[in-house]
Amino acid sequence: MALPNGAGGYQVGAGNRQETLMSAMAAPQTATTTATLTAAQVVNQMLVANPGSGAPAVYTLPTAALIDAAVPNATVGSTFDLSLVNIGTSSGTAALATATGITDGGNAFVALAVTTSAMFRFLKTGDAAYTVYKMA
């Protein structure tokens, strides 16, 4: 039996704990050579990197102020995740680089080898301030 929604609340699924939780995501963003990422590329949940033939690529994050503008309802303690998938060939590593208002919470700015991926969690710590953690 489903729980009633009361005064306009929302229930995910039918209350079955074994039910797969679904979420929505736009098509993955892409990046090739070294570049400064847009806030849209970062908050989209997935970035597919293709550094090319053996050349490493460094993707500089947008400033924390630009991320704030892209997620205006975020408050201190809000988080979002970004998966970076490196589909490059040869030895084309991919790495994130910091920007104004972005702090490394732990291994967030290490290079990812070809055909590997990692998830990064962005934690809003203040106005125009985020800490980024490499999760896996």
Taking only the tens place, the pLDDT of each residue in 51-81 is: 877 788 999 999 999 999 999 999 999 999 9
Q: Does 66 map to a domain?
A: yes
Taking only the tens place, the pLDDT of each residue in 21-55 is: 677 888 999 998 899 999 999 999 999 999 877 78
Query: Per the structure block, which two tokens stand in for 6?
Result: 């009361």
pLDDT at 89: 79
Helix or strand holding residue 45 (H, E)? none
pLDDT at 13: 59
Contact yes or no for 118/95 (Cβ under 8 A): no
Of 26, 108, 121, the closest CA to residue 78 belongs to 121
Distance CA 80, CA 45 (A): 8
pLDDT at 82: 96
Q: Does 43 map to a domain?
A: yes
Q: Does 124 map to a domain?
A: yes
Contact yes or no for 49/84 (Cβ under 8 A): yes
Residue with tokens 């290490």: 110
Q: Does 21 map to a domain?
A: no
Q: Does 59 map to a domain?
A: yes
Q: Does 3 map to a domain?
A: no
pTM (whole model) above 0.75: yes
Give how many domains the chain has, as a whole number: 1
Taking only the tens place, the pLDDT of each residue in 87-130 is: 987 778 999 999 999 999 999 999 999 999 999 999 999 999 99
User: Residue type for 52, please?
Assistant: G
- The β-bridge partners of 82 are 120
Distance CA 50, CA 27 (A): 16
Distance CA 135, CA 127 (A): 23
Confidence of residue 7 (pLDDT cuts 50, 70, 90): low
Structural domain that includes position 92:
29-134
Distance CA 98, CA 62 (A): 8
Q: Does 111 map to a domain?
A: yes
Quote the longest CA-to-CA distance of the chain: 57
Q: Does 6 map to a domain?
A: no
Confidence of residue 1 (pLDDT cuts 50, 70, 90): low
